[in-house]
Structure 1
């Protein structure tokens, strides 16, 4: 890994220098770069990724923030713990007794402790890494259904924010069946709230409630979060952070976000730097390129640079823009034509471990030993794998280093990753970000 990391930094440094980056840009960030990783509730199962791996891999010491995915929003606009089959998993969140071999401190949970499960392990992780901030991320693709209801009126916004603070910051968890939870059980674990409404004013998952007034109501919602978080923090003399996940598409930005206004209340915003293309399209394409590749068939097209510029053009402060980086790839099979598969036509999604067309980096990194060739566009900042039939677009350490140097060169706020369970057991990608951005 060390040799590959060094090569990635050297190549990316030359590319950034060649681009003529302003000398003052890299020194414009005042407080250091944020390095945010999403930890998925469900990663403890098939991906066998407990909170402990954040410690043993070395990831926790390289991150500034862990965002826990996800918290749900009820139809009547409240934060609540959803234990419904197929959706929520309060067992994983805080009820499951974690065995000693999965525990951050090596001590097994017992039934009925105030805090078990992932939340209890995050509590232990923070004790070991006291500078690490942990945020609860609300919504996501599947749980943004009722955000519009929560944001609709002054009364609904006040009630929604109050319920989120009560549940996640005051820590008043439900206590079913005499198990874990209860008043104050979760207090002190979360340091703030991440809003992942996908998307105000625009369609997301089918069935989401969408209203034209979502754009203005999102601003009012973040203002209400900031007001109540500050009021709650005054008693403990603590600043509770407020962040938001923000889209790449200019049309989605314009439909849902009053850009200059919302950043008055946000500590920072994380930008969608992935899913630019995927197997919902027949063409094998890049999903996370730094710049639009030469010969791209779509004009205009998506890229990290275009996303950053879209937010800057609308008035976002560059020091609060955090670039999203994927720890997974998207893949097609039956690919013919294109350049080494890029822009070729496919017959469908590539077979994969958990979801066709979607594979973790830790698996993709093994493919060159199994008949795949790594192809790279250094100018555009993306890489892909191709074996003559199957095509995977992904970020390897060289691409991640190049993006991290771009963040430095442009004076941006840092990097965010989705999601930590996609990295290998050595946290290669997270360490690449940390080494390149600096502590």
Structure 2
């Protein structure tokens, strides 16, 4: 991604009600189809890309569908997201499984006319994962250069750069989508409310992680700012208040509410 490239992207999530044909593509430069699952084939030891049952046609036609009115919009296939992260640890651990996985991803992307691929390994969390992800990204970029040089390569990443191979990200990916949301949730903070995606730390509290903290962490890790795309959630989290009259940030809570407000496209 060059410094002049603007990424105004959205994620279409197959579990929502919005269908690809109803997305207003003119609002975006890039659209992601989320998610292709990764399943281990126990008989062959390989890893297959699987589209969600009943939505195969939506994924297969996604690129064509979103380009009907806006041919210049870029369509990317998001891989993972809902996939057990141990599957990616397994794939990345050996050169043979990395190469087979890479070949499968490129083949699927080109067959269904996607403009790029996005890895959603949520999340690498060991030094071995980091080293193996380094190899995966490096080998993936090499294969794309040789087989499909027009394909974009991106990844969605945690708000913290810990356990990510920074050099490989800088050299092998066009950009990364920083998931700077759900920084505080009713799961991580059941006893008092906190903002899930605050732009800044409103009280400079060590308990609160902010969007600013996330972006600064990645810049301090030496990833160029023009390779960082900020993820914005189109959903909200809710708590059950212990006292309905006390409803400020940090008010006492009794765990999560069943209410979750969300839209079908997350923006970047």
- Fold-level similarity (TM above 0.5): yes
Question: Structure 1's 69 and 145: CA in aligned 2 closer, same or farther, altered over 3 A?
Answer: farther
Match of 1:309 in 2: 216
Q: 1:240 aligns with which of 139, 148, 151?
A: 151
Indicate conservation of the 8 Å contact 2:241/2:251, yes or no: no
Question: Structure 1's 191 and 261: CA in aligned 2 closer, same or farther, altered over 3 A?
Answer: same
Indicate conservation of the 8 Å contact 2:80/2:119, yes or no: yes
Whole-Å separation in 2 of the counterparts to 1:165 and 1:196: 16
Match of 2:15 in 1: 42
Name structure 1 gaps, 5 residues minimum: 1-28, 83-87, 95-116, 172-185, 203-211, 353-357, 362-418, 423-429, 434-439
Indicate conservation of the 8 Å contact 1:329/1:359, yes or no: yes
Indicate conservation of the 8 Å contact 1:248/1:302, yes or no: no
Indicate conservation of the 8 Å contact 1:78/1:164, yes or no: no
Q: 2:254 aligns with which of 332, 344, 347?
A: 347
Bigger proportion of residues as helix: 1
Whole-Å separation in 2 of the counterparts to 1:270 and 1:339: 35
Q: Measure how far apart 1:228 and its partner are.
A: 1.2
Matched, 1:68 2:33: yes
Any residues of structure 2 matched to 1:83-232 within 5 Å, and which?
Answer: 88-89=52-53, 91-94=54-57, 117-169=58-110, 171=111, 186=112, 188=113, 190-201=114-125, 212-232=127-147
Q: Measure how far apart 1:53 and its partner are.
A: 2.0
Q: Measure how far apart 1:346 and its partner are.
A: 1.4
Q: State the secondary structure of the residue aligned to 2:32.
A: strand
Q: Measure how far apart 1:223 and its partner are.
A: 1.0
Q: State the secondary structure of the residue aligned to 2:231.
A: strand
Indicate conservation of the 8 Å contact 1:42/1:92, yes or no: no
Residues 169-196 of structure 1, C-alpha deviations (whole Å, 9 max, x = no match): 2x2xxxxxxxxxxxxxx2x2x1111011
Q: Measure how far apart 1:301 and its partner are.
A: 3.0
Indicate conservation of the 8 Å contact 2:85/2:124, yes or no: no
Q: Measure how far apart 1:214 and its partner are.
A: 1.0
TM-score by length of 1: 0.56
Whole-Å separation in 1 of the counterparts to 2:19 and 2:124: 32
Indicate conservation of the 8 Å contact 1:332/1:349, yes or no: yes
Q: Measure how far apart 1:121 and its partner are.
A: 4.8
Indicate conservation of the 8 Å contact 2:238/2:257, yes or no: yes
Question: Structure 1's 216 and 118: CA in aligned 2 closer, same or farther, altered over 3 A?
Answer: closer
Q: Measure how far apart 1:359 and its partner are.
A: 1.3
Q: Measure how far apart 1:167 and its partner are.
A: 2.4
Match of 2:197 in 1: 288
Larger Rg: 1
Whole-Å separation in 2 of the counterparts to 1:216 and 1:291: 32
Q: Measure how far apart 1:118 and its partner are.
A: 4.4
Indicate conservation of the 8 Å contact 2:194/2:208, yes or no: no
Whole-Å separation in 1 of the counterparts to 2:158 and 2:77: 19
Question: Structure 1's 277 and 300: CA in aligned 2 closer, same or farther, altered over 3 A?
Answer: closer
Indicate conservation of the 8 Å contact 2:120/2:155, yes or no: yes
Residues 226-263 of structure 1, C-alpha deviations (whole Å, 9 max, x = no match): 111111225xxxx11000111113xxx32x21213321
Q: Measure how far apart 1:320 and its partner are.
A: 0.5
Count of aligned residue pairs for this structure pair: 261
Moved more, 121-130 or 143-152: 121-130
